Each structure stands twice: as structure tokens, then as C-alpha cells.
Structure 1
Amino acid sequence: MEKKTKPARFTNAVPATASQANNKFWNFVDSGGDSAELQLFGTISSEEDWWSDDCVTYRNFINELKALGDKKNINVLIQSGGGDVFAANAIYTALIQSKATITATVIGLCASAATIILQAASTRRIAKNGVLMAHNPSVTLYGSYTSAQLAKLAEVTDKVKESIMSVYRDRLGKTDDEIKELMNNESWYVGQEAIDNGFCDELIEDSFQNSYTDKNVLTANGIGYNFKNFVNTFAPDEVRKKVQNLSKTPQKETGTFSNTPTTQKGNSEMGMTPATAAPAIQDAAQLRTAYPDFVNQIVEEAIKAERDRLKDIDSIANGIPNDVLMKAKYEEPLSAADLALAQLRANNQAGQKTLNNLTDDLANSGAGSVGTVPNVGNDGGSQQKAEQREAKVGGLVNALKGDKRRGK
């Protein structure tokens, strides 16, 4: 049997688990009346799944949207790492062509292709600790391809990027060069940053744990989504820290989203800027997040000071035992001045001890009590020389005993 070659798939998504990939990624909640809710969770599936025959695709989504009938308002809740670009584009088009007013809320993560769907909303909101990420599309291959086919796929991938840019261009208020740059850089935005960069319009002051969740877990279509550590597996460290810091707020027993409009330039206070409370700092990570430039300055100054200290110690190292040097450098750090003073004191004590030992040795040697024994045949001159030597030794002992430099 001839092996079937799977078509290339163009995706714009953060890594997804296998359990998310083939599940229905949306849920319509129609409670009657003029409004409905759309919960968009998980990976956005492609038109054809490679691994299963019962894949739920965006065609089912469009059919369910039409089945809602004429609604005045559709509230979209987004917690998605993205997925198939073509599916996201189709959902985007279906939403903007509907008669309903679309309001979208990022309650956790809105990444990659999910940001396309977000732009279909006339009002785009994000939780203060919600995360948005935009980057370039990629192509997933399964099968055998020639170099010409791969070159063609590269061209198509660029066209896919242009389709994403066309959506961003209408909503972000950025130039094409700016949009290309943020996609090339894989840009991550937390809360207010998504508003500042044109992806959202309003900030939800409550963190996403406060609403639509029970014990930080939201269930849709029988699938549980744990939001507590939702960025831990793929977001950069600085993004995780921002989310954690913004999530450390008292949780309400029963909370609902409250909106804060986008900050506008100017106010009714004659140009005065309202005072902003300083963030509460509880550890080094929060300090670095709140004041990165200040922390970096402190670190740089500390490194320079330590290098200078070690250089100064090296400049006076001659004559100092190596074990003393190592202790002063690393175990019990000393400045060069303190080390030099300590070594001078050690040298003085060692010299005084040597002098004391020499004096004691001479005093205890009995040299002072040694007399002269005349030898037969010695003349008076020899005895006189012996007496002179005895006098010199005794004088040296007495001189040492009277030396004021000796310790007691």
C-alpha cells in the first residue's frame, strides 16, 4: 500500500500537550436572551488531524456559532496557547461577520494563533496577570519533500505571517516594521503591557484566579484547565515572575471581573500625576522585578568592589602564608588594609616570642655560673682570657634581662 504523505501544517502556538491537541477547544454557553458566552480553551485544532479520525475542527465551531441564532452580544473567554493559523483565521472571520457585538477577555493565556481570534472583538480585555504572546508562524512536516517543495513551503510560511500581520495591522496601531519586529522577537506581554502594545483595550484589576474558576481550575467540555501554574512550562523566567507577583493579591470568595479603561493622557487634575503606591517587596525576585535597573546597578558595584579587594590583597601578598591569603580572600573576607595590619601583628608576636626564647635559653644554660679551671701549664695570660670570656657572657645575660622590649 502506498504510504500517504501528510500535508504540511502551519501553526502558531506554544507547546501543547497531546491531550489538548485533539479535544474540542471551545464551548458555547447560551443561557437564552440576547447574549451568549464562548469559552475558547486549549489548542486550536486544524482542519485535518494527523493522528485521529474523529478530530474536532473549526468547521464544527462555525456550525455551532450559526446555531446560536441572532445574538446581540457574545462574550469570549480566552485561555489558549494558539494552534492552527488557518483555523484561527476562519474563526476570526466568522466572529467579525456575526451580527453580535464581540467582547473578548483573556483570563489566563492568549498566545500565538489565539491572538488572531482576540482581535475579532470590538472590546479586548485582559486580567492584570494575564499573558499574551506573539511570534512568527512555523510549519510542521510529515513525509518526504524535495528541496523545491521545501523552498515553496518557506514562501508559504512568509505568506502565513503576512496574513497574521494583516489582522494585527488593523488593531495594534503599529507600522509593519514594528509588527515584524515584535513577531521576530517572540514578544511576551503581561497585563497592562498587552494594552500598551495595542493587543488589548481594558485591564481587569482582579487576577484571573478570582473569576470563572473553582479552586483555580476551569472545566469546559469535561476538560479541566489548571490556571495556577499555567505559564510554568514554556514562559520565560521574567514572565513567570511578573505573573506570580501580580497574582499575590487577596482572593475574593466570590469575584467578578471589574474593568479599568485604558489609561488616557491628561486628566482633570490640571496635569498632576496621581501618586502611585510603591510595590510591596518581600524577596529578592520581587525587588528585581520592581526595580531591575536599580538591582543591576547594585550588583555591578558589588562585583567591582570585590574585584578591587582581591587585587589589593594580591599586591601585598609577598611574605604572607598562602593559607592566610586564602582565608582572607574567601573564607573570612578581609580588606587588604586589615590583612596587612593583622600580618604585622602576627610578625611582631613571632619576633617577640623568638627573642624571649633566646633570652630564656641563655639564662637557663648555666653559662653565667661557669668558672675557670686552671690547666697545668697555663700561664696567667690564659686564665685572664677565660675570665674575660666569662664576663662577656654574664654581661650579655644581664643585658638581655634588662631589655625593656621583652614581654613579661
Structure 2
Amino acid sequence: MPKREQRQAQKEQRPNKFWNFVPGTEEDPAQLILYGTIASAESWWEDRVTPKQFNQELDALGDVEEIVVRINSGGGDVLAANAIYTRLRDHKATITVKIDGWAASAATIIAMAGDKIQIAKNGIFMIHDPSMTIWNTYTAEQFEKMAEQLKTVKQSIVNAYTQRTGRDEEEVSALMSEETWWTGEEAVEEGFCDELLFEEAETIIENGSMLIVNSVPIDITGFKTIPRNVFENKSTTKNRGKKKVQNKAEDKKGVQMSEIKTVQDLEKQYPGLVTEIRNEAAEAERTRIKDIKNLEIAGFEDIVENAMFEKPITAAETAMKIINKQKQVGANYMAEREEDVKESGVKNVQHGSGEEETKNKFDAIIDEMKF
């Protein structure tokens, strides 16, 4: 066999496979396992072996009533995801999607094919705009054409989201542009998933660039925003650098994570963090007191003293209190002055007759004048 044909045969024997079909049994339905990156080096539309192999394995499941699609993926090839989404939507079996760890980017497109979408309580669900990797040199016109292609791809994704969730296109488009991250609970609340799984995902971040979710490594360097709060403070989700910390398991200092209930516990576990928080709080308090002290003027010492120590408020709030007090003092002064004028009786004093006498003298002179 010529070497070219041998290479082609080898390629067909080793397709760019990123899935695994598990035939059903009497007890369990058939499964499609999608763990890790969807597609890889070769694009779905260029690699004719990959979609052909996928379709053959899907058809080989036979006349099944249900297919469980288990997802734990950070995404990958949008074209591959769209093709899988279409095949699953077109299949007569009930499609149950279970997000075991997380579904991000292109993986969420496949998730939308589910008649029911379940996600781990502390799983991750992320949607964002599609992007394109550039490996060559291009003209401005070519870049403009690629930009239009990305807009078309985005619209296809928006269509999948809106069809499944019933949400407005503009709203979904905005969420994608913002690169939106949700926990499992939030994904259910937002309508992108239907219900929570009883399983809980175990998440570890290594070196800030690799995320390991239920033992599946996922490169996160390509994402714009990684909100750490999505991974922190969850019952079984840990973020401890390279070290893996199990829920209710002891770390190297012998302190259980579930035992951090007081400031003292936190300081023992993270002394540097507590010191930093205290220093920042002390500096903020010194600045607050200094700013309020600069507002002190005669007659309003009680307001300043109260704002600094007894009922602490900001300098801006203190200034407003002083201004309001000044306005009240001014109003009281004007009221007291008016009362003093009334009590003096000065308004009741009558004018003398000098004006009338002066007028009569002028009249007499005019009468005596001869014309």
C-alpha cells in the first residue's frame, strides 16, 4: 500500500475523537461522555473523519429511549458543538444532559440539546462570545470578513440559547459579550439549566492557569474573566494553589476548613490575610477621623465628637449634619429677631405732623406768587 494511502488509513483508524459512547443496559440508559476539549487541532468542517465517526457511533446505539449526555468541558470547536447539538436535537431519544463539573463556551451549546439539563450544585456554567485564532497574515478586508463570520457564529449560538431558555435575544447577546459565569444554582435560576444534580463537583485551581474539575484538566488562560467567587466558598469547591484540600479534610496545619467559625480561627489559618485586612481597616479609620476633625468649627464640636467616636459616620455625612445645624441656627435667629421687634413696639410708633406743616408753607408761597 502506498505511504499516502497508509497515512489516510491510519487517520481513519485514529479520528480526532473527543467523545465516548457507552451502550445502554437493562438498568442504565446509553451515554455520551464529553469530558475535556471539544475537538482539538483539526476543525470539524475540515476533518471529514471525525463527524463521520461520531455519526456512526451515535447510530450504533440503536433504537434507544434515552441518551444521557455527561459534560465536563471548558469548550472548544463551535462548529463541532453545533453539529453535535443538531444531531442530538434531531434524535428521537429523550436527551438528558448532566453537567458533572462544568460546561463553558462551546460545551454549553451541546447542553442546550437536552430535554432536561441538570448541573451539579457547585458546578460552573459560562457563556461568552465566540473567538477566532489567527495563525497567518491577512488583509483588512479579510479581517472584516472574519469578523462577519464571527457575528454569524454568535447568532447561531444565541438562537440555541433563546430557543431553550425563552429569553430575549438582546439579553442573551449581552450576557455573552460580558463573558458571564454562573454556579450550578445560578444557572438554574437564570433558566439555562433545569435542576440540580445531587453530585457536587470538586474544583481545584493550579497556578492560576489550569482548572481541574472532577479530575479533568481545563486550560483557563483563554478566558477574559475568571470570577474567583464562583469557585470559592462552595461546600466542596476548593481554591488552594497546587494543594488539593478535600471537604472536611485537614490541611498541613491540621485545621479543618469547616472549623473556621471565628476571627481567631481565620487568623490561625491565614495570618497574613487577617493582618492585611486589619491594616487596611486601621488606615481607613485614621483617614475618616482626620477628615472629620478638619470639619470642626466653633459651636459644632458635639457633632464632630459624636461622628468620630460615639456614632461613627463618614466625613461627608458629618458635613451635612453641620450644614443642617447651621441652617437651623440661622432660622432660629431670624425667628427670635422678629419676636424682639414685635415686643419692642417699634412698629406701632406714629409719625409727627412736620410733613403736613411743610406742605402748607409751600402752598402759601405759591398762592402769593403773581404771574
Q: Could you say which TM-score interval applies, normalised by the shorter chain?
A: 0.5 to 0.7
Task: State whether residues 128 and 246 of structure 1, in contact with CA within 8 Å, keep that contact through their aligned partners in structure 2.
Answer: no
Structure 2 counterparts to residues 134-283 of structure 1, below 5 A: 134-209=127-202, 227=214, 233=220, 235-243=226-234, 282=261
Q: What secondary structure does 1:24 align onto?
A: coil
Task: Write the deviation string for residues 151-183 of structure 1: whole angstroms up to 9, x where unpaired.
Answer: 111111100000000101111221111101100
Task: State whether residues 105 and 124 of structure 1, in contact with CA within 8 Å, keep that contact through their aligned partners in structure 2.
Answer: yes
Deviation of 1:190 (Å): 0.3
- Cα 1:230/1:196, change in 2 over 3 Å: farther
Larger Rg, first or second structure (1 or 2): 1
- Cα 1:71/1:49, change in 2 over 3 Å: same
What is aligned with 1:394?
none
Which letter maps to 2:195? Answer: E
What is aligned with 1:318?
none
Structure 2 counterparts to residues 8-407 of structure 1, below 5 A: 24-33=17-26, 35-45=29-39, 48=42, 57-209=50-202, 227=214, 233=220, 235-243=226-234, 282=261, 304-310=284-290
Deviation of 1:143 (Å): 2.3
Task: Write the deviation string for residues 64-113 of structure 1: whole angstroms up to 9, x where unpaired.
Answer: 10111111011111001111111101000111111210100111010001
- Cα 1:101/1:115, change in 2 over 3 Å: same
- Cα 1:73/1:65, change in 2 over 3 Å: same
Distance in 1 (CA, whole Å) between partners of 2:236 and 2:289 is 36
Which letter maps to 2:289? Answer: R
Higher relative contact order (CA 8 A, sep 6+): 1
Give me the CA root mean square deviation. 4.0
Task: State whether residues 24 and 56 of structure 1, in contact with CA within 8 Å, keep that contact through their aligned partners in structure 2.
Answer: no
What is aligned with 1:371?
none
Which letter maps to 1:240? Answer: F
Deviation of 1:32 (Å): 3.4
Distance in 2 (CA, whole Å) between partners of 1:138 and 1:168 is 18
Distance in 2 (CA, whole Å) between partners of 1:168 and 1:54 is 27
**TM-score, length-normalised on structure 2?**
0.56
Q: What secondary structure does 2:285 align onto?
A: helix
> Which structure: greater helix fraction?
2
Deviation of 1:228 (Å): 5.7
Q: What secondary structure does 1:142 align onto?
A: coil
Distance in 1 (CA, whole Å) between partners of 2:261 and 2:48 is 47
**TM-score, length-normalised on structure 1?**
0.51
Runs of 4+ in 1 over 3 A off after TM superposition: 31-34, 46-50, 53-56, 228-235, 242-251, 279-284, 298-304, 309-315
Q: What secondary structure does 2:67 align onto?
A: strand
Gaps in structure 2 of 5+ consecutive residues: 1-14, 205-211, 239-245, 250-257, 267-277, 296-307, 310-371
- Cα 1:150/1:302, change in 2 over 3 Å: same
Task: State whether residues 73 and 218 of structure 2, in contact with CA within 8 Å, keep that contact through their aligned partners in structure 1.
Answer: no
Task: State whether residues 116 and 164 of structure 1, in contact with CA within 8 Å, keep that contact through their aligned partners in structure 2.
Answer: yes
Task: State whether residues 135 and 183 of structure 1, in contact with CA within 8 Å, keep that contact through their aligned partners in structure 2.
Answer: yes
- Cα 1:159/1:76, change in 2 over 3 Å: same
Distance in 1 (CA, whole Å) between partners of 2:262 and 2:215 is 20
Q: What secondary structure does 1:82 align onto?
A: coil
Deviation of 1:61 (Å): 1.6
Deviation of 1:23 (Å): 6.0
Distance in 2 (CA, whole Å) between partners of 1:131 and 1:304 is 36
